Amino acid sequence: MLVTQSQHSLGSFLDVLLYVSAAAIAAAGYYLCAQCWRAFGPSKSKRTKEEYQKVYNEIAGRLGEDYDYDDGSYGPILVRLAWHASGTYDTKTGTGGSNGATMRFGPESGHGANAGLEIARNFLEPVKGIYLKVLLYTFWSQDADSVTCKQPANFHVAKFPWITYADLWILGGVAAIQEMEGPIVPFRPGRQDRDSTFCPPDGRLPDASEGSQHLRHVFNRMGFNDQEIVALSGAHSLGRCHADRLGFEGPWTYTPAYVSNQYYNMLTVEMWKVRKWDGPRQFQGSTSQTLMMLPTDLALVEDEKMRPWVEKYADDESLFFHDFSNVLLKLFELGVPFEEGTERWTFTPTKVQKS
């Protein structure tokens, strides 16, 4: 059979087209795989500081959107989540701590001390992925006027799915402290998520109705001394107690959405008396009627070894900020088996990024 010149050219053109298409498909496949690996692949040291800064910014952005919650910020409850995830650590057995994010599961999520923390976990969930609300329209009849709009449907779209819950919860605490004008708290990535068999037993977190010996018992177990107990307790400059969670009620300071040393000032200058009410034993300020202290808070000024630290932090906010940052870093890293050489990073607060 005779092959004409034009048939031959067409054949060559189709061959080239085939090769180009195959190359394009291979390139697209490679690109997609690479993207999937970036999105869903392992976390740890393979991620860059810039990628974690993006997660930080996402959390900070979300904190800046919701002023109608509590005292105007989800920040305090994010700090409490990071603390409760870490504060179960036991130096003797090496169990508990922020590695694992085991509070996602029962029994730990149901431990009395963790009441209310699902709010913080749910707040952070969209940082791993975003929910898109998509409107579905249904045409019920031929009549053009009777178009019925159904309820919006939720679709879950990946955002930062590569970050582990364990790292996310701690980064949430770090971002909250910094965005609420607290000190810079360095962050080291590398926590892994574990299953419910790693849940610590109930009773490892402090009981607010106890005194300083109980505080020592609980915090020494984690490896903290008196000064560190006092510095950590300064987190109560933030947030409030909610009667429907642990029974106690009210804020510790006048500015519960900002980190400050006001908590120590209130402990040293205010006269605290037992509140007369149906709830658990707590204290009410004689002047600052709306503010409160827990028995464990007052234990810090009643104990002769702890009180000097309360006074130092009341006098010097920068000393408190310095010690608070160090002790939070220690708390958040308890029991985490970081890969050797994993760096600690500091993230830039969004206010500084904008200025």
Would you count residue 206 as binding ligand HEM (CB under 6 A)?
yes
What does the alpha-carbon distance between residue 355 and residue 341 come to, in Å, rounded to a whole number? Answer: 33
Instruction: Choose among 203, 231, 249: nearest CA to 308.
Output: 231
84 tagged catalytic: yes
In whole angstroms, the minimum distance from the beta carbon of 84 to ligand HEM comes to: 8
Between 129 and 280, whose beta carbon lies closer to ligand HEM? 280
- Exactly one of 44, 54, 242, 330 binds ligand HEM (CB under 6 A); that residue is 242
Indicate the pairing of strand 240-241 with strand 250-251.
antiparallel
Would you count residue 245 as binding ligand HEM (CB under 6 A)?
yes
What does the alpha-carbon distance between residue 17 and residue 110 come to, in Å, rounded to a whole number? Answer: 62
**Which 3 state secondary structure label does DSSP give 284?**
strand
**Which 3 state secondary structure label does DSSP give 143?**
coil
Would you count residue 212 as binding ligand HEM (CB under 6 A)?
no
Per CB under 6 A, contacts with ligand HEM among 109-128 are 116
What does the alpha-carbon distance between residue 166 and residue 170 come to, in Å, rounded to a whole number? Answer: 7
Instruction: Choose among 292, 178, 333, 309: nearest CA to 233.
Output: 309
Centre a 10 Å sphere on the Cβ of residue 289 and count the other Cβ atoms it contains. Answer: 10
Residue 43 main-chain phi, psi, to 5 deg:
-85, -120
In whole angstroms, the minimum distance from the beta carbon of 106 to ligand HEM comes to: 20
Per CB under 6 A, contacts with ligand HEM among 266-295 are 294
In whole angstroms, the minimum distance from the beta carbon of 284 to ligand HEM comes to: 15
In whole angstroms, the minimum distance from the beta carbon of 152 to ligand HEM comes to: 30
Number of residues that bind ligand HEM (CB under 6 A): 23
Would you count residue 241 as binding ligand HEM (CB under 6 A)?
yes
Would you count residue 231 as binding ligand HEM (CB under 6 A)?
no
Stretch that binds ligand HEM, among 49-57, 178-186, 235-243, 264-272 (CB under 6 A): 235-243
What does the alpha-carbon distance between residue 154 and residue 329 come to, in Å, rounded to a whole number? Answer: 37
For residue 113, which amino acid is it?
A
Site of tokens 């020592």? 216
Of the residues 84, 111, 169, 236, only one is catalytic, namely 84
What does the alpha-carbon distance between residue 101 and residue 123 come to, in Å, rounded to a whole number? Answer: 15
Six token digits for residue 222: 């984690």
Would you count residue 183 as binding ligand HEM (CB under 6 A)?
no
- Exactly one of 238, 259, 267, 301 binds ligand HEM (CB under 6 A); that residue is 238
What does the alpha-carbon distance between residue 335 and residue 191 come to, in Å, rounded to a whole number? Answer: 10
Per CB under 6 A, contacts with ligand HEM among 78-107 are 79-80, 83
- Exactly one of 63, 101, 222, 235 binds ligand HEM (CB under 6 A); that residue is 235
- Exactly one of 77, 103, 174, 291 binds ligand HEM (CB under 6 A); that residue is 77
Instruction: Choose among 216, 237, 220, 215: nearest CA to 321.
Output: 237
Residues carrying an active site annotation? 84, 252
Binding site for ligand HEM (CB under 6 A): 76-77, 79-80, 83, 116, 206, 208, 215, 232-233, 235-236, 238-242, 245-246, 248, 294, 296
